[in-house]
Chain A
Amino acid sequence: MSAREKAQVLDETGLDRALTRIAHEIVEQAGGGEDVALVGIKTRGVTLAERIAAKIAAIEGTKPSVGALDITLYRDDLGLKAEQPIVRTTEIDFPIKGRTVVLVDDVLFTGRTIRAAMDALMDLGRPHIIRLAVLVDRGHRELPIRPDYIGKNLPTSRRETVAVLLREHDGVDRVVIQEE
C-alpha cells in the first residue's frame, strides 16, 4: 500500500480495551438468556470475533460459537472491479436458526459489506436477531445500517482509509488512519 500514515487511532491497549467493552455489552444485552453466536466477516472480522468470544468466555464461563463468513458471492459490485475478487470459504458449522447472531467486522464504512453479510446469513437459516459489532465506525453510510456495538467512532474524510492491524495477520495490534 502506498498510503501515508496520518495518525494512530488505537494502540494495543486501546484496541484490547475496546474489545473488552464490546464483550461486556454483548453479555449485558443478551442477559444470559440469549443463545449468542458470533460470526466474523472475513478476514479480520473473524479474528476479532475469536477475541471477543474468548473475552465472553472469561466473563460468562462458556465460549459462544464462532463462525466465519465470506461475503464475496453476495457483493453488489461484481464486474465493476478490474479483477474478480477471490472467493473464500464460509465456515459456520452450527445452526443459526432461532439464535442471536452478532456479526463482527473491523471497519464499518458504506454499509454494503454488512448488507451482503446479512443476505449471506439469511441463506444459511433464519436467525432470531442479527446484531452488529464493529471495531471502528468511520461514517459515510450509503445504506440504512447502524451498529449495535462500536469500539471507536472515528470521523473520517472519504480520501482517508482506516487500517486495522492485528497481531495474527500483521504482527502488531493497532488502528491507523492513512491518506493516499
Chain B
Amino acid sequence: MGWKRKDLLGMQDLETSEIIDVLDTAVSMKEIASREIKKVPTLRGKTVVNLFYESSTRTRTSFEIAGKWLSADVINFSASGSSADKGESLLDTARNIEAMSPDVVVVRHKASGAPALLARHLRCGVVNAGDGAHEHPTQALLDLMTIREKKGHLEGLNVTIVGDVTHSRVARSNIFGMRKMGITVTVAGPPTLIPPQCQELGVKVSHRLEEAIASADVIMMLRLQHERMEGGFIPSIREYSRVWGLSLARLKPCRPDVLIMHPGPVNRGVELSPEVADSPFSVILDQVANGVAVRMAVLYLLAGSKSA
C-alpha cells in the first residue's frame, strides 16, 4: 500500500492495487460531503491549478470543489482569453505557471499526450483531466467507484459501453481500468464508431444493441458529439438515436438490476431517452457526486507525495 506516483496520466499505467487505493481513499473522502462543514485542512497551503485548453464545466468544477474541500487554493486557468490565444506555447504557459509554485496542475487538452509532456517538464504533480481521444482517468475511477458502490464488487461483472468508442477517451480509460479489475467489457456501436482493432484491448465487440445489453450488469452510454455528424460517421442523429438510443422499451429484456451510466452531459433524446435518464436504473447523478470524492482522493495522493 502507499501511493508513489508524481502524476496521474492514464488508467493504462496504473496497477490494480493503485486503482484500489484510489477507490478506497475516495470512499473515505465521500464522508466529508455528508458533513455540515464540508472542509478538512489536509491540503492547506497547497495550490492546485486547473489548466483547461478545452471547455469543460463539469470536470473543472468537480476538481475545483475537490480542491476547496481539502483546503487547497484552486486557481482556474482557461485557454480562452488567456496567453494561449496570444500564441504562447503549451510548455511556455506551463513553465510560467510552474514559476508560481503550484503543487498539482490539472490539465485538459485536445491533443493526446499533452499532460504527459507537461509531466515530463514540470516538477509538480500533473493530473490528466482528458487529452484528445486518449484518456480521462478520473472519469474511469469515478465510474469504477460508482459501480463498486452499487454492486458491492467489480470482479466478474459485465459492462457494455455503447456509442462513439473511437473518439472516446472515457471509453478507453474505462476499458483499461475495468479489464484490470476483472470486468468483462463489451463495446457496441455503429461500425464507423468502433475502432477496427478494438479486440486487442481485451473487449468483445457487438454491432447490435439488444444483443450487447441483454446480460449486462452496467450499460454505459457515451455522449454523441454533434461534430461526428459533419465527419460523416453516421447518416443522421435521428437514425443514430433510433438504432443506438436507449429507451425504456429497449431496457425491458435487460437485467432488473441493470445500472445506466453516462459521463455527461446527456443529449436527451439522442443516446438516452429522458425516461431512462430519470429512471431508477440511472446512476448519472451518483457519478457526479462520486466524481468529487475521486478527485479529492487523487489530489490528496498527488499533493502529498514528495515530488519537488
The bracket for how many chain A residues form the interface is: 20 to 34
Q: Which of B24-32, B134-142, B167-175, B268-276 contacts A (4 or more CB under 8 A)?
A: B24-32
Confirm or deny: B306 has a beta carbon within 8 angstroms of a beta carbon on chain A. yes
A74 in contact with B29 given A83-B3, A87-B300 (CB within 8 Å): no
Instruction: Point out the residues of chain B lying under 8 angstroms from A89, CB to CB.
Output: 27-28, 31
* Cβ contact within 8 Å between A73 and B42: yes
A87 in contact with B3 given A73-B42, A123-B40 (CB within 8 Å): no
Confirm or deny: A137 has a beta carbon within 8 angstroms of a beta carbon on chain B. no
* Cβ contact within 8 Å between B305 and A84: yes
Instruction: Point out the residues of chain B lying under 8 angstroms from A72, CB to CB.
Output: 28
* Cβ contact within 8 Å between B304 and A84: yes
What 0/1 pattern do residues 30 to 71 of B give for CB contact below 8 A with A?
011001110111110000000000000000000000000010
**Which residues 113-147 of A sit at the B interface, judged by CB distance below 8 A?**
119-120, 123-125
Instruction: Point out the residues of chain B lying under 8 angstroms from A90, CB to CB.
Output: 28, 31
Confirm or deny: B81 has a beta carbon within 8 angstroms of a beta carbon on chain A. no
- A86–B36 alpha-carbon span in the complex (Å): 24
A84 in contact with B41 given A79-B306, A90-B31 (CB within 8 Å): no
A86 in contact with B25 given A74-B42, A119-B41, A123-B39 (CB within 8 Å): yes
Closest to B4 in A: A83
Confirm or deny: B205 has a beta carbon within 8 angstroms of a beta carbon on chain A. no
Closest to B32 in A: A73
* Cβ contact within 8 Å between A78 and B25: no
Instruction: Point out the residues of chain A lying under 8 angstroms from B35, CB to CB.
Output: 123-124
- A138–B156 alpha-carbon span in the complex (Å): 49
Closest to A90 in B: B31
Instruction: Point out the residues of chain A lying under 8 angstroms from B28, CB to CB.
Output: 70, 72, 87-90
Confirm or deny: B1 has a beta carbon within 8 angstroms of a beta carbon on chain A. yes
Confirm or deny: A82 has a beta carbon within 8 angstroms of a beta carbon on chain B. yes
The contact of B42 among A78, A82, A86, by CB within 8 Å, is A78
* Cβ contact within 8 Å between A87 and B304: no
Chain B residues with CB under 8 Å of chain A are 1-4, 21, 24-25, 27-29, 31-32, 35-37, 39-43, 70, 297, 300-301, 303-306
Sample of 13 more A-B contacts, CB < 8 Å, known A78-B303, A84-B3, A87-B25: A72-B28, A73-B70, A78-B42, A79-B304, A82-B2, A83-B1, A84-B2, A85-B2, A86-B1, A86-B2, A88-B28, A91-B31, A120-B40
A-B pairs with beta carbons under 8 Å apart, 25 shown: A72-B28, A73-B40, A73-B41, A73-B70, A73-B300, A74-B41, A78-B42, A78-B304, A79-B304, A82-B2, A82-B4, A82-B306, A83-B3, A83-B4, A83-B305, A84-B305, A86-B1, A86-B2, A88-B28, A89-B28, A90-B31, A91-B31, A119-B41, A123-B35, A124-B35
